[in-house]
Structure 1
Amino acid sequence: MLGSIVVDGTSADLPCAHLVYAATPYTDSTLVWPDGRTTRTGYQLNALAADGPRMHALAIRRGGAAFGDGAHLVTIEADGTTRDRGTVGPRFDESYAGAMVAGRYHVAAEGRMYVLDPDTATVLASAPMDVTATVGDWEYDPADGGLYGVTAEGHAPALLLRTDPGTGNTRTVGKLPESAYGSAFLGPGRTLYTLANNDAGRSSWYAVPLARPADTAKLGAGPQAATSDATGCAPRAAPGTPAATPRPSPSRRVAPPPVAVAAPVPPSATPPARKSPLPPPPPLPFEPVAAPIAHTPVESWTTRHWIAFMVFAFGATGVGARRMRAK
């Protein structure tokens, strides 16, 4: 229970989750584990997303300094080991929302939803979200297949948004107290737990029932936070069941929403020696790419062309001279 953790001298009654936060801008994030451990990550992190026992995040800075090639995708293993998987480009420099859907990393950036392969840091698909507000964080709700996010605009009221991970379509489903949220994770009973950032004092935790957003309730104070992000814990196996592997193959992933991904492939009797590649990306409405303009090659003049031209030119000159003499 994250509620048993005292973060920066404060605590709140929260379900199991991971939290990264930085008290002041442009500084490295601290990772708070569900058991109370804290880790200095060495990065300023956002878009935290649980992927089984490991997590993915977008690193905006390292050691307080911005990357020269845009944001980087970072993986945090269960033992705290951090791996930089490379740049995803400057378009993700102000990306704060991340969540896993069917083994893919869904990120909001610049008014678009991007789907990334978390192992290769490559963009698989993207779609417009038709929203101008900045999404501070979001979490996937398997009950209705939506990504529920909170805005980080800095002016009241903040909004609760729902994004379809198969199309990118986004709509407002409620309004929230305060103005700038940085963290959101899903708890039991389809309750979204959110943190309203405050770098001048204590931030605030809220519980948002997704079925009735109007019943949002304040839970208590959080840490001083200029930036923050959160993700829930992986479901625990029932007693007597084998533990989950660190990275299940696509055939054992939770089935995605029907609109987004094809049905999973049944597992084979003999597991493959290497992890299978991710299935094709969901059929998102890509922006059409202009077809290349066909260019007809122009044949250069050869010796044959030049001889014909000279014969014609001298012939025309001779005809003109005879006409002049005739006059």
Structure 2
Amino acid sequence: MSNSGMAIRPVLWDGDVFRVLDQRLLPHKEHYIDCDTSDKAIRAIKNMAVRGAPAVGLTGAAAVALGAREIDARDVDTFMKKFDRLCDRVKRARPTGYNLEWAVEQMRLVVVENLSIGIDAIVEKLREKSEALINEDIEVNRAIGAWGKDVIPAEGAVLTYCNAGGLATGGYGTALGVIRAAWEEGKKFHVFACETRPYLQGSRLTMFELLKEGIPATLITDNAAGFLMQKKKINVVVVGADRITANGDVANKIGTYSLAVLAKTHNIPFYVAAPRSTIDPMKSRGDQIPIEERPGREITHLGGKAIAPAGTEALYLAFDVTPSRYVSGIITEVGIITRPYTRNIRLALQKEAGK
């Protein structure tokens, strides 16, 4: 794997087909799902074949592009009505991450701005926009890495959770993008990756990326993090995000809140790395974020095999919310946002890219 980003692209266009790397099969098998309809792309989001808020958003944009060419309409007004219904259906695929909603609205804007050019031309522009969003995401992630690399110690240890790497984005990574950029700069640190139950994104995906990158890393159980902090084995925590509210509250993979509280208790910096497309300015605080509840079977079974007694009732909340008071900073493509979050998030959203 080169420092240009992930050698394996999690999402990409191949002609008229949108290809999604089936992350449920990693690290043992690299298999792409070919999506030639909107339903297939939506299904890839719902069944966790693609995951990570930015990658889900990119797949949602592709679902819109694929669905637009399926619309049967003789005039623009009819097309627009059916297109709006398509957008709403795509946004409902997964409720917590904001990047999906953001990406769909980017696609809707393409239509609104090009109503006069005809349906066929609009459909082509949607396909072009979907691909452009992938390329833009990679550049945004690189900028996040450039801003965030300074929070990584020259020596010491970084703790990360779930997977916020190239596999969760267009190909470079948010939290792992920060780690990757620091490593490319020559810093010599060690990464502790939490396994992240129940889908094991840490053990299956984050370790997969770190090993390919040649970054020294150790896999730990989720419940070992506090002990390592207590023993002063962790210098900084860097995680990704699925939605950030206007006041800096952060929704991320379930278990993130626990790590943030532990980090605060042990005076360890806790950073969130995410593009501005993860920030939802219409939600003023974290308790307004919808939390996805997934089937209990995803806890009671692993790899299709039962690991709990038959009849076990299980609750699988896929995300939790970390209040902003536990967050040391939010690393974005325009800089690191710090307190006061409400003011500084508003200013960050107003900045031009690259400024």
Question: What TM-score, normalized to structure 2?
Answer: 0.29
The structure in which a higher percent of residues are strand is 1
The structure in which a higher percent of residues are helix is 2
The structure number with the bigger radius of gyration is: 1
